Amino acid sequence: MSRRNYSNGDGRALASRLRRRVRIETPVEVSDGMGGTVRNWQLLAEAWAEISPLRGREALAQFQLESQISHRIVLRWRANLDASMRVVHGGRVFNIRAVLNVNEADRMLEVLAEEGGAV
């Protein structure tokens, strides 16, 4: 994956692009009352993000990684985000498939996600 420059060093360029307020949710197993468990979703954090669909060559290149990846979500770096979680924006659900630490700088995350599922 190519190096991406998401800011001019002080974060202003990036901040103007993070316009969507999203919920980051983590799965939790809860009792179903009959001896089993059911997967539920719990709020981990809220964050500002940029959500964009993959297009053309990007989608084709990502096909090799995961055939269902449909969107790229960019947000500020956080240590506890992983592929078991999901991002929710409005009524849309994005299941996380990969989390990339942009330029290994611990400043930005690029999340590759598949849209689908119920809120």
The structure tokens listed for 31 are 């009792």
Please report whether residue 6 resides in a domain. no
SS3 of 76, please?
Answer: strand
pLDDT, residue 33, reads 87
pLDDT, residue 66, reads 47
C-beta separation of 74 from 109 below 8 A: yes
pLDDT, residue 108, reads 94
Please report whether residue 12 resides in a domain. no
Q: What is the pTM of this model?
A: 0.76
Q: Sign of torsion, CA 49 101 94 33?
A: negative
Mean pLDDT, consecutive 10-residue stretches, the chain (119 aa), reads 52 74 96 89 97 69 60 94 96 94 93 84
For the chain, how many structural domains are there in total? 1
C-beta separation of 70 from 53 below 8 A: yes
Please report whether residue 25 resides in a domain. yes
Dihedral (C-alpha) 24, 53, 113, 20: value to the nearest 10 degrees?
Answer: -10
C-beta separation of 73 from 87 below 8 A: yes
